[in-house]
Amino acid sequence: MTTITLDDLRRIMRESAGADESVDLDGDIAAVPFEDLGYDSLALLEMSAVVRQEFDVVVPDGALEHSKTPQDAVDLINQLVAAR
């Protein structure tokens, strides 16, 4: 069983939706809402698609709404992996 780490998520965020120069994805982002990192609903949709390919779990629609944080996302994905 493969779990996801915050660093995995950083990479997926960068690859799937890009990162603006004003945001340091390598910094302390665990508790920063996606919205404040510049990731909108489309970005979260794209991240969910990559997570599905890599971790074989389906993130339910709306589960990663933009007020959530990267740590929330890591916890959710790992719960889904554990429940598989």
Contact residues toward another protein (CB under 8 A) are 15-21, 38, 42-43, 45-46, 49, 52-53
**What secondary structure letter does DSSP report for 12?**
H
Measured from the CB of residue 45, what is the shortest distance to another protein in angstroms? 4
- Provide the CA 21 distance to its chain's centre, in angstroms: 19
Shortest Å, Cβ 28 to another protein: 19
Which is nearer to another protein, 16 or 71 (by Cβ)?
16
CB of 22 to another protein, least distance (A): 8
Nearest to 34, CA basis, from 46, 4, 58: 46
Q: Which helix (H) or strand (E) holds 84?
A: none
